[in-house]
Amino acid sequence: MKPASRAGAWLAIALGSLYFLLPLIATFEFSLRMRRESYSLEAYRVVLTDPGFQSAFGYSILMALLTVITSIVLVVPTACWIELRLPRMRPVIEFITLLPLVIPAIIIVFGYLRLYNSSSWLPLTGNERATDLLLICSYVTLSLPYMYRSVHSGLRAIDVRTLTEASESLGAGWFTTLAHVIAPALKSAILSGSFLTFAVVIGEFTMASLLNRPAFGPYLQLIGANRAYEPSALAVIAFLVTWASMGLIQVVSRNAAGAGAKRRLPGA
């Protein structure tokens, strides 16, 4: 690479880093000013000891975990079946899974409210547990592009047809093959999709707000409308959770690549 090109690349990286980091640094600096005379972590102490935060954050974590489990159970068998039995349907399924990126979340949740309100044939907004189920379904829909693309990429990286045929030739059924042969081979892809799903769900606002559920997103909006320093602390916490998820994806991907390279070495 020429020196001019290298300098231009480093300049672009520096400008991009400043564009993303400066607002976050300013937000963090402002969150430390709750005590006027000095910097302190008082805003974080107030937030972390607030029962409302603990309840909202715990609720969002629970919903995120349930969404991840539901997405894995739904997407992994479907993607495997499409890859093995219905390859001609692959473009159709890919188009369907990309629709949540095109259709705004507010339209999706309004459709749910229209279909499943208290006067519909299947009322899911009449009690809290049914509404929680509807929220999980909403989150599964919202995270479908990320989970499906991760699993699909993992399937294309392995010879799933040969693995399935070898397992079935040894007498294993479909579910045994899926659970003990295909799923372990897709571990890194499933974990990547799971972390992405977790990051999407933990800060989601629109669906939780319109379904009137006590999630972290609506709590963040409520605090932001009534306080000064605590919202900045909450924003930093939300960034840390998202970045931790992204970092775990990188760790999982790197470990998977290292394991694959080791298996390809002679005598490994």
Closest CA to 256 of 180, 196, 191: 191
| pLDDT for the residue numbered 264 | 45
48-69 residue pLDDT tens: 898 988 999 999 999 999 999 9
For 113, 130, 133, 169, the CA distances from 136, given in Å and listed in that order, are 14, 10, 5, 38
Nearest Cα neighbor of 135 from 76, 63, 185, 189 is 63
Q: What is the pTM of this model?
A: 0.83
Look up tokens 């739904």; give the residue: 74
H or E element in which residue 184 lies: helix 183-185
User: What is the pLDDT of the chain when averaged over all its residues?
Assistant: 84
pLDDT band at 77 (very low <50, low <70, confident <90, very high): very high
The CATH code of the domain that includes 131 is: 1.10.3720.10
Amino acid letter for position 137: C
Distances (CA, A) of 23 to 26, 27, 30, 236, 239: 5, 6, 10, 11, 12
Residue at 187 is within a domain? yes
For 134-213, strand residue ranges (E) read none
Domain assignment present for 181: yes
Query: 161 is written with which tokens?
Result: 């047809």
Asked if residues 179 and 162 have their Cβ atoms less than 8 Å apart, the reply is no
Task: Please count the residues of the chain.
Answer: 268
Residue 264 lies in a domain: no
Short-list 108, 106, 95, CA closest to 149? 95
Give CA–CA dist 220/203, Å, rounded.
Answer: 9
218-266 pLDDT, tens digit each: 998 888 877 878 888 888 888 888 788 777 777 766 665 555 544 444 4
Evaluate the CA torsion angle 144, 149, 151, 152 in order and state its sign: positive
Residue at 153 is within a domain: yes
Query: Angle, nearest 10°, between helix axes 160-169 and 51-84?
Result: 80
Split into its structural domains, the chain has a count of 1
The whole domain housing 204 covers 51-255
Per the domain annotation, does 175 fall within a domain? yes
* Distance (Å) of CA 41 to CA 22, 26, 44, 239: 20, 15, 5, 17
> Is position 125 within any domain?
yes
211 domain residue, yes or no? yes
Tell me what pLDDT residue 118 has: 74
Q: Is residue 250 part of a domain?
A: yes
